[in-house]
């Protein structure tokens, strides 16, 4: 008998693992939908929610969120093409990133994205030149500001520090002549991203208020219209024992307080909140199969077929003490004795530890384990090519049916891009 939770929308995870093999990521569209709607319904209506593909660039995940109403924030040519093929309206796509290449800027113009978020004055000039070379027309740019004020509430602080991202606030303040000289690029907004994994709604509200007033001050000083303000996002999800999820009601109420007065002063301004982790993390489970269960010097190890090569995020973020993602046994018999296990993967490095000393019902070789809340920064942020295991399969469960949305890498896939030269 399995534990009752080891299914998604009624589809047994053991059947899914059998059909698609392990290790694999499984995404639950009911959770994606609930997460999006619960947030959307609480945010002020002036705020558009954009999905940051960085967190999970799977095209079907993007398409599902797009159908729910999310725009897309992309940072590479491939992410741009992913969003467009997923059916996201180019008018709901922004392109951001510190190192945009000419061909990426051209692709933005070809697609007609809502805006290019420019991260330096040089990039504005480059975008102007590229627009001119295409025969003119107009391109909308939003300035990414590196604010003078620091961030509240994020481990990864942005703002108030030297960064390769954005343009320092005091540089923007003096950039009027630069902006006026642009022939084809029209600067029409401000962007700021203050960090990731915010778990206190008061910090998000505080940072948003700061960004909105900075945007108004800069636009006034530069004499540019405020048509778009993107105030980032970085909402977190609780991964570890000592964390709690955001209070969405309080977040919604706080956001209305800072957004509504701004919206009254700037009724035509589009507000964007860009979110990666928050939209997808909770919907994903990383499913691995125990290959070996062994003991070393009194510690029990489950050596699974996948590990940090697909789930680097589980190593723990910004912490010296190993903290564990929620892990569960996907098929323990009722009443099985519990033990503490460290969950490790197939890599030949002691760092390949997904979870350290977690309590689980007894694990035997062949059992399935699930790492929950793993739908963000999984394969995309992991060294999937390390030891040539390749990237795992990804499956979406929708209306009770599991479908493959990414094939597992095979040995032939891994070798296909290599060339064996003749040394004779
Ligand atoms: C990484 C990133 C995001 C997404 O961050 P999350 O914490 O996953 O929501 C959004 N905007 C920018 C500029 C980013 O660098």
d(CA 83, CA 317): 28
Decide whether any atom of ligand 1 lies within 6 Å of the 119 Cβ: no
Q: Indicate the SS3 state at residue 156.
A: coil
This prediction's pTM: 0.96
Taking only the tens place, the pLDDT of each residue in 397-414 is 999 999 999 999 999 999
Q: Are 194 and 159 in contact (CB under 8 A)?
A: yes
Q: Is the dihedral of CA 370, 371, 376, 380 positive or negative?
A: negative
The token pair at 205 is 């509200």
Q: How far is residue 142 from each of residues 97, 123, 139, 367, measured CA to CA in Å? A: 12, 11, 10, 51
Q: What SS3 state is found at 381? A: helix
The string of DSSP letters for 297-346 reads TTEEEEEES--TTT-GGGG-SS-SS-----EEESSPPTTPPEEEEEEE-S
Looking at domain 96-275, its CATH class is: alpha beta
β-pair partners for 143: 118, 190
Q: Specify which residues 404 forms β-bridges with.
A: 395
Contact predicate 278/286, CB 8 Å? no
Residue of 55, 70, 198 best suited for mutating to test ligand 1, as the one with most atoms within 8 Å of CB? 55
Q: What are phi and psi of 17, to 5 degrees?
A: -65, -35
Distance CA 336, CA 254 (A): 46
Q: What pLDDT, on the 0 to 100 scale, is given for residue 5?
A: 55
Q: Which residues pair with 115 in a beta bridge?
A: 94
Please report the atom of ligand 1 found closest to the CA of residue 274: 10
The CB of 234 under 6 Å from ligand 1? The reply is yes
User: Residue 384 has what pLDDT?
Assistant: 96
Q: Is the CB of 196 under 6 A from ligand 1?
A: yes
CA end-to-end span of the chain: 61
What is the 90 CA–ligand 1 centroid distance (Å)? 19
Q: Where in the chain is the domain with CATH 2.40.37.10?
A: 4-25+282-416
Residues lower than pLDDT 50 in the chain: 1-3
Tell me the CA–centroid distance for residue 215 and ligand 1, in Å: 19
> Does residue 275 line the site of ligand 1, with CB under 6 A?
yes
What does the pLDDT read at residue 2? 44
The answer to whether the beta carbons of residues 309 and 387 sit under 8 Å apart is: yes
- The tokens for 97 are 């990133």
Ligand 1, atom nearest to 195 Cα: 7
CATH of domain 4-25+282-416: 2.40.37.10
If you take atom 14 of ligand 1, which residue's CA is the nearest one? Answer: 193
Determine whether the shortest distance from the Cβ of 144 to ligand 1 is under 6 A: no
**pLDDT confidence of residue 162:** 86
Dihedral of CA 323/328/332/334: which sign? positive
């Amino acid at each position: 008998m399995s534990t009752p939770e080891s299914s998604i929308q009624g589809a047994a995870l053991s059947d899914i693992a059998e059909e698609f093999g392990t290790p694999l990521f499984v995404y639950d569209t009911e959770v994606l939908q609930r997460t999006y709607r619960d947030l959307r319904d609480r945010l002020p209506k002036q705020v558009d929610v954009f999905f940051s593909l960085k967190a999970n660039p799977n095209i079907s995940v993007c398409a599902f969120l797009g159908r729910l109403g999310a725009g897309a924030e992309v940072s590479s040519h491939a992410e741009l093409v992913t969003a467009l093929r997923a059916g996201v309206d180019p008018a709901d796509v922004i392109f951001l990133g510190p190192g945009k290449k000419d061909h990426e800027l051209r692709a933005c113009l070809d697609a007609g994205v809502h805006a290019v978020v420019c991260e330096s004055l040089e990039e504005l000039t480059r975008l102007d030149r590229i627009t001119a070379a295409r025969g003119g027309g107009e391109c909308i740019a939003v300035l990414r500001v590196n604010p003078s004020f620091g961030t509240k509430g994020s481990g990864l602080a942005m703002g108030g520090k030297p960064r390769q991202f954005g343009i320092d606030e005091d540089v923007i303040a003096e950039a009027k002549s630069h902006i006026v000289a642009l022939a084809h690029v029209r600067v029409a907004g401000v962007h700021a991203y203050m960090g990731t994994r915010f778990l206190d709604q008061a910090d998000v509200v505080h940072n948003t208020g700061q960004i909105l007033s900075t945007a108004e001050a800069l636009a006034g000083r530069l004499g540019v219209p405020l048509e778009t303000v993107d105030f980032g996002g970085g909402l977190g999800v609780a991964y570890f024992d000592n964390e709690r999820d955001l209070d969405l009601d309080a977040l919604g109420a706080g956001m209305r307080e800072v957004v509504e007065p701004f919206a009254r002063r700037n009724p035509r301004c589009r507000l964007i909140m860009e979110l990666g982790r928050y939209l997808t993390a909770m919907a994903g489970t990383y499913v691995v199969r125990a290959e070996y269960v062994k003991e070393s010097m009194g510690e029990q190890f489950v050596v699974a077929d996948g590990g940090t090569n697909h789930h680097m995020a589980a190593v723990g973020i910004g912490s010296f003490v190993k903290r564990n993602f929620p892990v569960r046994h996907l098929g323990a018999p009722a009443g099985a004795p519990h033990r503490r296990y460290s969950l490790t993967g197939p890599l030949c490095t002691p760092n390949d530890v997904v979870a350290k000393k977690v309590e689980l019902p007894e694990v035997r070789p062949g059992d399935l384990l699930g790492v929950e809340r793993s739908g963000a920064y999984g394969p995309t942020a992991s060294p999937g090519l390390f030891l040539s295991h390749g990237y795992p399969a990804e499956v979406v469960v929708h209306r009770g049916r599991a479908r493959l949305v990414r094939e597992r890498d095979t040995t032939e896939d891994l070798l296909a891009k290599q060339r064996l030269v003749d040394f004779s």
